[in-house]
A and B are shown apart, each in its own frame.
Chain A
Amino acid sequence: MTDSFDLSVVDWSKAQFALTAMYHWIFVPLTLGLGFIIAFMETLYVKTGDEEWKRITKFWMTLFGINFAIGVATGIILEFEFGTNWSNYSWFVGDIFGAPLAIEGIMAFFMETTFIAVMFFGWNKVSKKFHLLSTWLVAIGANLSALWILVANAWMQYPAGMHFNPDSARNEMLNFWDVLFSPVAINKFLHTISSGFLLASAFVVGISAWYLLKNRHTLLAKRSIIIASVFGLLSSIFVGLTGDGSAYQVSQKQPMKLAAMEGLYQGKEGVGLVIIGAPNPSKTYNDDKDAYLFKIEVPKMLSILGYHDKDAFVPGIKDIIEGGYTYKNKDGQEVVAPSAAQKIEKGKLAIQALADYKTASDSGNKEMMAYHKKILDENFEYFGYGYIKDVTSLIPKVPLVFYSFRIMVGVGLLFIVFFALVLYLVVEKDIAQKRWLLRASILMIPMAYIASQAGWIVAEVGRQPWVIQDILPTVAAVSRIGVGAVQVTFFLFFAIFTTLLIAELKIMFKQIKNGPKEGGH
């Protein structure tokens, strides 16, 4: 059979998933970090008995609640969209991918849900210590939830701990610990939650700065700034360290993503890291145009970051498409990279071997089954390439990934300086007098959100066209539904999410304006 379906359904399904994920990711980072900030504040209240800390805790808790509700609303869609829009994916890797989602529900969601009720409504119903424990459990539950969904996401970027079973025509888990503790998963989890901590810290510092500018709730503001700037400084340093780890993992596991992040078309040894630059938008992988309109780079830095060797060869987009360079494979052996065309051939061989295996299996011919399985196993690492028709579709959107990466890194580094400065001034000087910094602190809130979204663009757009790296492209993962249906739901979700975002912002601004006394409900 060679019939085909409307390919635009793939684009609309991708757009719908991206829309949902990006809206969801507006709210989640604040939940991840603010949960801990509130827990620190309540701990101080319980330890000191100072009612002001309770008032501070309750104020931030109110903002937490508003943000949490809309995070829940957008989160449920993401889980079910794997089924509604990516039904092939759900079968092809559901054996591995489903487990973290279920564990997330059992281990994390119930913890959050149960103890959030105590956190909000239990002040007069349970003991101080039990209330404090509940607040900590909400924060831990939220971050445990992040762990499992990020383990699942990391597995999509670097499939580990599994094998392909031709009898069931799907990938099956072989080693749970390999899935949970894959280096990509560990880095991704630590990098992502610490970026959430950073964002929440910026949120608390920024709002507190506004109060100082208005000369209102100054005690709340100063105390909040101390907690948030310490947490923010530690988090931003940790974001940098784990970001370095992530870059190393990307260079080993997803070289095309790294090349797109750098706009690197032609690989070489000792490649520099572009600090500021503009990739040439008309550049294609096989022409002779300059890759950049201009650039300022740090010599050899990309080789150092990506391979921990200043003279390491970093393949560019052209190298990855045309092959021929040497690299270390999963087993640590030096091998020559095949070209994209060769990978496509190998992918087709694997797909055909699966079909032949099935035919042999139906006729009970064990010898032929073994023969075709051998071919399938030998070529399986390129299975997904069999669905690729045009090698250029293997190249992600370079300018988008390139700029997003720089925004993420640039703003991330800026935050280290920012939190250090804020902490110094709030402890050693009178920060209320530094009005320029207070104004800057307010501006840093949207900066944190922009950097956070940019991070997701790097991670997700950078790995296109793959749903599962090298094994399943989006075109083979999508559900067979009409493009019209997906268009309708895309606009439906867009309208509802946007409406709810406006409502959330209006409520949030009003609560902030009212402050802690009039805040709450």
Chain B
Amino acid sequence: MIDSTYILLQQYWWLIISLLGSILVFLLFVQGGQTLIYTLGKNESERTVLVNALGRKWELTFTTLVTFGGAFFASFPLFYSTSFGGAYWVWIAILFCFIIQAVSYEFRTKPNNFLGHRTYEAFLQINGLLGTILLGTAVATFFTGSQFSVNKMNLTNIGNPIISSWQTPWHGLEAALNLHNLSLGLAVFFLSRILASLYFMNHVNSENIFARAKKQLLYNTIPFLVFFLTFVVWLILRDGFAVNPTTGQVFMEPFKYLHNLTAMPVVLGLFLIGVVLVLWGIGKSLLTNYFNGIWFTGIGTIFAVLALFLIAGYNNTAYYPSTFDLQSSLTIFNSSSSKFTLKVMSVVSLLVPFVIAYIWYVWKSMNSKKIDAEEMKNEGHIY
């Protein structure tokens, strides 16, 4: 018997995960900014301003990543079990990038910091470069698939009770060798630099940095468009992992993701509006002295990425497909938590608007004045 409430809850939680994922991509401007510190900051004073402009936001990105992981665990534990335990090296590499980021802001300028400030800046660069590319590459496997098998009843095999098994010895590294995956990874990397340039233009009070950021905006927009269009065109042309809603059988369907967009006009609209907003924010900032482009491009990023997540999981699609065994693919129905847990979590999710409201209020209070070198001299706590 179909339990429509349960299905609704599963859809709802895929929406929440997608929203968290898309907000995370927007907040990766911190990572993009870290890779621009030396490009935009020509002396120590400028670099300090840039680091501090990012330093007051890095924990927000970090927390969103942690919450994205926690929410995924709570709502779709089979994904957590299969992907993290299988694509071991990719996730460990991502985690490593974030460990070294977490201390770098606080330790960078502290006296007697053991590794020297250049090392902490290098940590920030590594986090910005590898963190974004690897996250984008990992998410791309939602469309391209991975080689794993899942059999929950393996629990009854006392000698080897393993539910999920990765079927390549590379444990996730193979994803980085797939050009389609890599195109998304690189698109995310250049997008994070675009967002960072716009953020600096918005928040740093320096004509020199504004001019350099504008130049970087152009330089990063070109490769971003190349990789993003490569990913999207490839995506809408490729076969996708469809699910028979009656039997639960997974099968390959030509143009599946294109079909998903046309079958869900709201999602298609979201995607197109998102892309237009991204381009509008970039274009207006490039052509005029506009400094609020971050909001257009940021919101556009959230819309476009949200749409990509939704076509990965909605409309009878396997969001974490297995190319080794199609029937091991994960769907939002076969990998979710129980109805009761999703209900409990849904009640908790009512707190999210409240959380967003206080984040917005604090952001507004703290960013009411642009950051500049003068503030760095007077501020008691700087990075």
Contact = CB atoms under 8 A, between A and B. Distances in A.
A118 B57 CA distance: 11
Contact of B156 (A104, A126, A351, A481): A351
Interface stretch (B111-119, B273-281, B285-293): B111-119
Interface stretch (A109-117, A257-265, A289-297, A311-319): A109-117
Given A87-B86, A169-B153, A521 B380 contact: yes
A371 interface: no
Contacts of B379: 121, 124, 521
B88 A101 contact: no
B166 A94 contact: no
Interface stretch (A69-77, A237-245, A416-424): A69-77
B204 to A, nearest CB: 15
A106 B102 contact: no
A176 interface: yes
Given A87-B163, A481-B88, A122 B365 contact: yes
A114 B171 CA distance: 35
B158 A351 contact: yes
B262 interface: no
A102 interface: yes
Given A85-B85, A96-B341, A480-B162, A102 B95 contact: no
Contacts of B111: 507, 510-511, 514
A222 interface: no
A191 interface: no
Given A121-B366, A520-B380, A521-B381, A109 B63 contact: yes
Given A65-B106, A83-B80, A173-B340, A105 B85 contact: no
Interface stretch (B212-220, B243-251, B343-351): B343-351
Interface string A61-85: 1100110111011111101101111
A66 B381 CA distance: 11
B348 to A, nearest CB: 5
B124 to A, nearest CB: 13
B42 interface: no
Nearest to A169: B152
B105 interface: yes
B355 interface: yes
A348 to B, nearest CB: 7
Interface stretch (B70-78, B134-142, B319-327): B70-78
A480 B166 contact: yes
Interface in B187-243: none
Contacts of B359: 110, 114
Contacts of A117: 56-57, 59, 362, 366
B80 A105 contact: no
A500 B96 CA distance: 13
A181 interface: no
Nearest to A67: B106
A502 B113 CA distance: 9
Contacts of A215: none
Contacts of A482: 169
Nearest to B20: A105
B20 to A, nearest CB: 9
Q: Which of B69, B91, B96 has the most CB of A within 10 A?
A: B69
A500 to B, nearest CB: 6
Interface in B245-283: none
B2 interface: no
Given A72-B102, A113-B62, A172 B112 contact: no
A393 interface: no
B161 A88 contact: yes
B368 A125 contact: yes
B231 to A, nearest CB: 26
Contacts of B102: 69-70, 72-73, 76
Nearest to A356: B156
A88 B88 CA distance: 14
A87 B81 contact: yes
Given A72-B59, A120-B381, A499-B115, A476 B161 contact: yes
A489 B92 contact: yes
Nearest to A353: B156
Interface stretch (A1-9, A223-231, A395-403): A1-9
Interface string B145-185: 00000001111111111111110010100000000000000
A504 B92 CA distance: 23
A126 to B, nearest CB: 5
Contacts of B382: 521
B60 interface: yes
B314 interface: no
A73 B102 CA distance: 5
B110 A521 contact: yes
A174 B337 CA distance: 12
Nearest to B338: A172
Contact of A83 (B83, B112, B152, B351): B83
Given A106-B349, A125-B365, A168 B155 contact: no
22 contacts: A2-B160, A4-B160, A73-B99, A88-B85, A91-B78, A91-B81, A102-B345, A104-B70, A105-B67, A106-B355, A110-B359, A112-B63, A113-B60, A117-B362, A126-B365, A168-B338, A169-B152, A358-B153, A479-B85, A481-B171, A499-B114, A511-B110
Interface of B: 56-57, 59-60, 62-63, 65-67, 69-71, 73-75, 77-78, 80-86, 88-89, 91-92, 95-96, 98-100, 102-103, 105-107, 109-115, 152-166, 169, 171, 337-338, 340-341, 344-345, 348-349, 351-352, 355, 358-359, 362, 365-366, 368-369, 378-383
Given A91-B77, A114-B60, 13 more contacts: A74-B99, A76-B65, A88-B85, A90-B84, A94-B74, A96-B341, A98-B337, A99-B344, A105-B69, A106-B67, A111-B358, A165-B338, A502-B114
* 3 smallest beta-carbon distances between A and B, as pairs: A87-B85, A94-B77, A83-B84
